[in-house]
A and B are shown apart, each in its own frame.
Chain A
Amino acid sequence: MAILEVKNISKSFDGLEVLKDISFDVNKGEVLAIIGPSGSGKSTLLRCINQLERADGGCVVVDGMTMFQNDENGYAVYSDKKILRDIRLKIGLVFQNFNLFPHMNVMQNVIEAPVQVLKMNKADAEEKARELLKKMSLETKEKSYPCELSGGQQQRVSIARALALSPDVLFFDEPTSALDPELTGEILKVLKSLAEEKMTMVIVTHEMEFAKNVADKVIFMDEGVIVEQGTPEEVFDNSKSERTKKFIQKF
């Protein structure tokens, strides 16, 4: 069963149509890679699903809960606050530039939401955080502040922070684009190990090799539409569309 259903999302910024009729599903345990040129609407799509932007029309269902759906005129109507909040806790987003809280150390960053939002007790939250930090090979950095860490380490903290809420789906918006090439590998390794643990993930990326090897499904977007979607073999090796072929050749 699909844990994330996206149907016909549309979104404009002051008359400029950035997303047009976007539909796809993600099943539990699947990794979906979204590729496409700059400005094609990848970030906007992720931001709509994570409630950072309001969609104009369409429908999003997360784990059976409807975030918004069309009214009879084709405009998106959002569900009430309680449901939106529940959905928010079911999904997590990892940003390109990390967005860690600079005044909090690594441990505080990771336990902030479990303690403040889920009302977990602090000791339990810390225990869980230690486990996650260990998985991210950051066990020695608990007390460090974000400004004392490398970009790759900061990104791993932000992944741990998102995982601390045990989301059903984790979204990544170009998680390696702000990193030096030699730090990209360490993040891709983390993503790969999460994929092996059957974490459901939607990853916007420019790392074609990674998308090909790790993703179960690939979506190629251009100018606000999904040009092609399918298995990595279908999209990378047997692309039906000229636009896809051209884009992939560049890498």
Chain B
Amino acid sequence: MSQKEILDVTKILLEYLGPTLKLFAATLVFSIPLGLIVAMLKMCKFKPISWLTSIYILIMRGTPLMLQIIAIYYAIPYLKINENLPVFLKKIVDVVDIKSPNYMFIAVVVAFSLNYAAYFAEIFRGGIEAIPKGQYEAAACLGMTKTKTFFRIILPQVVKRILPASSNEIIILVKDTSLANIIAYTEIIMKAKQQMQLYSSLTPLFIAGVFYLAMTIILTAIFSMLEKKLNYYK
């Protein structure tokens, strides 16, 4: 490929950085709070809730994300044509507009968020359970409520503990976004594949690789900065 062609391809791929980053950001925004909720449910003392949550986590971590994306994307259209659907489900399904231009994006974000929430939940749970019992007891003796204890005493310490594992997960997410092209969500890898065929060259794929590398370098830098910032205590 000529230098000009390489520049052209880079420009085109750069445009599709947008959809990749959009998916990445939306997944983080939804999966982190959802993960915290799932972690709480898993630690629930009422066993049936804890078991149900374990099953959810098992399915989300035990089946390929690609399969989950396909299932969620096609589930709604499939249910729409199903005649025997219970009324309440039909009402829910009818609300979803599969013809809307946003439908694909929403379906992908739902799939990614549900999947990543399961991974984050296990990281959060590990972090919460690693906080010594004495911290809760000291807070209780000082008259702090359960909510205050969690948000002021426990959570700040959990954040520090889970930062390395979370940053690992988040860097994997950057690269996982390419799985969305299975339902034709156009992002960098999909575009790179088209360009590869167009030019009969591997260079577009190489350029896409450089993009991912750059995103990873930036994320790594951000996380090591955060880790340093939280290093003021042990």
Contacts and interface: CB of A to CB of B under 8 A. Distances in A.
Interface in B109-157: 132, 134-135, 137-138, 140-144, 148, 152-153, 156-157
Interface of A: 50-52, 85, 88-89, 92-93, 95, 97, 99-103, 112-113, 116-118, 145-147, 158, 161-162, 165
B233 A147 contact: yes
A161 B142 contact: yes
Nearest to B156: A103
Contact of A113 (B144, B156, B233): B144
14 contacts: A52-B141, A85-B143, A88-B143, A89-B143, A93-B141, A97-B134, A99-B134, A99-B135, A101-B135, A103-B160, A112-B142, A113-B142, A145-B232, A162-B142
B234 interface: yes
B157 to A, nearest CB: 6
Nearest to B157: A103
Interface in B179-234: 232-234
A147 B234 contact: yes
A102 B154 CA distance: 10
Contacts of B143: 85, 88-89, 113, 117-118, 165
Nearest to B232: A145
Contacts of A88: 140-141, 143
Contacts of A89: 143
A101 B138 contact: yes
A156 to B, nearest CB: 15
A145 B234 CA distance: 9
A14 to B, nearest CB: 18
Contacts of A117: 142-144, 148
A90 B162 CA distance: 36
Contacts of B142: 92, 112-113, 117, 161-162, 165
Given A101-B138, A145-B233, A158-B138, 11 more contacts: A51-B140, A95-B134, A99-B132, A99-B135, A100-B138, A101-B135, A113-B144, A117-B144, A117-B148, A145-B232, A162-B141
Contacts of B152: 112, 116
Contacts of A147: 233-234
Nearest to B137: A52
B150 to A, nearest CB: 13
Contact of A116 (B135, B144, B160, B233): B144
Contacts of A116: 144, 148, 152
A51 B137 CA distance: 9
Interface in B43-71: none
Contacts of A145: 232-233
Contact of A102 (B141, B148, B234): B234
Contact of A103 (B132, B137, B148, B233): B233
A44 B136 CA distance: 17
Contacts of B233: 102-103, 145-147
A112 B152 CA distance: 9
A131 to B, nearest CB: 18
A101 B153 contact: yes
A158 B142 CA distance: 11
Given A85-B143, A116-B144, A95 B160 contact: no
